[in-house]
Homo-oligomer: A and B are copies of this chain.
């Protein structure tokens, strides 16, 4: 059980890289700059793969990068990355219903890219103007998997799920107001999609969708 290191403020799971093919990914909120720096330094030293910190604001990112060089910050995705993985040869299409879903898509795409996936971004193809998603069918079918990101009623997931045969990972977003219930409506709608075999992750979690896409590239062989 030597593969966990207790830094006092965190117990770093050093064995995750061996167990799951990538190191523990650090969730930024609620952690001090010094704590993030310490965890990242530990992971860089004890592991060999990519090191990621999610949901970091620009100031904290600059401070961390000042102390732990070699990383790169993606402002749209709020993501810090060191040692991004080499491309794996799996393309994931990231599709959004509206412009307000942009930040979640940015996180999904940036995390996926840092883990070695090729990503195609298809923006703003909500079903109220159906020709937009129909125009993108070729791109959707060319991908190995699809991440669908939508708020409000989340209908895009059902439409895309019916157009492609590859894995579809739906991400509800907190876009919308009133009956949108901070994303709960889109979440419930995606879970009850009439398009068979769609899977769903937590509200606004571009991160979880990217990780789910990464799992698609792993296997027992």
Contact = CB atoms under 8 A, between A and B. Distances in A.
A218 B179 CA distance: 27
A194 interface: yes
A116 interface: no
B197 A177 contact: no
A4 B125 CA distance: 9
A131 interface: yes
B179 A187 contact: yes
B191 A159 contact: no
A131 B11 contact: no
Interface string A184-221: 11111111111111111111110110111111101110
A107 interface: no
Nearest to A133: B130
Contacts of A21: 165
Nearest to A158: B155
Nearest to A213: B197
Contacts of A130: 130, 134, 159, 162-163
Contact of A200 (B24, B135, B196, B201): B201
A166 B19 CA distance: 11
Contacts of A204: 177-178
Contacts of A219: 144, 166
A15 interface: yes
A154 to B, nearest CB: 7
A11 B179 contact: no
Interface stretch (A40-48, A61-69, A78-86, A92-100): A92-100
A161 interface: yes
